[in-house]
Amino acid sequence: KAGVTQTPRYLIKTRGQQVTLSCSPISGHRSVSWYQQTPGQGLQFLFEYFSETQRNKGNFPGRFSGRQFSNSRSEMNVSTLELGDSALYLCASSEGTANYGYTFGSGTRLTVV
Amino acid sequence: KNEVEQSPQNLTAQEGEFITINCSYSVGISALHWLQQHPGGGIVSLFMLSSGKKKHGRLIATINIQEKHSSLHITASHPRDSAVYICAVGTNTGNQFYFGTGTSLTVIP
């Protein structure tokens, strides 16, 4: 059974640009959640999608957005990149709620220069 | 104020030692997760708990809902256990997730 796949693995962008990250969940999983990990702030919850709807959102500015497609694949977009957006972005999939186990992807490491 | 507090922040142990990492939380939860992150970033979910105790190999996780506290134990520690261990809670009020800052474990041969 394939795991959670995140693409790309590494990305370098310039300040002011926008970026789109992709996450393909485990087959049958309908929930995809996104997290940002930085050395200073640790892991922080960005948002969660379930059946194409954003079900919950963390405390991030509107520059961070996402969507989920009918096949449960999810994309995360960050517009007008700032140096502080440099981080490891992780996604995790699960069958439904926090009562179900989560499987994490390997992450996308974004560097903003 | 952090919703999830972990201790210790850093831990160095000799191979074979029994290790305990603690997690306290202040929110109502639907489940608590223990995660393991190796250098390079990949995260593995070790346990998901909503009550009691779970065991997987040399790893044991316990949770006390009344005291809002969980522990992760590693028996007969091994250098390959060296990693950052992160406690995370899913809230019972809308699928929000909060993370501890992690415990960096180094097991010396």
**Is B82 or A2 the better-scoring residue by pLDDT?**
B82
Cβ-defined contact of A98 to B97 (cutoff 8 Å): yes
- 3-class DSSP assignment, residue A3: coil
Interacting residues of A62 by C-beta distance below 8 A, sequence separation 6+: none
Closest B-chain CA to A37: B41
Task: Kindly state the average pLDDT of the residues B74-79.
Answer: 97
pLDDT (0 to 100) of residue B1: 65
| pLDDT tens, residue order, chain A (113 aa) | 578 999 999 999 999 999 999 999 999 899 999 999 998 888 999 999 999 999 888 889 999 999 999 999 999 999 999 999 999 999 999 887 555 677 889 899 999 99
pLDDT (0 to 100) of residue B94: 62
Confidence category of residue B91, pLDDT binned at 50, 70, 90: confident
Q: H helices within chain B, ranges in order?
A: none
The whole-angstrom separation of Cα A79 and Cα A59 is 16
pLDDT (0 to 100) of residue A99: 56
Q: Does A102 touch chain B (CB under 8 A)?
A: yes
For residue B23, which residues of chain A lie inside 8 Å, CB to CB?
A: none
The whole-angstrom separation of Cα B90 and Cα B92 is 7
Cβ-defined contact of A102 to B33 (cutoff 8 Å): yes
Cβ-defined contact of A101 to B45 (cutoff 8 Å): yes
The whole-angstrom separation of Cα A10 and Cα A107 is 9
For residue A35, which residues of chain B lie inside 8 Å, CB to CB?
A: 97, 99
B9-55 pLDDT, tens per residue? 999 999 999 999 999 999 998 889 999 998 876 788 899 899 999 99
The average confidence (pLDDT) of chain B is 92
Closest B-chain CA to A104: B43
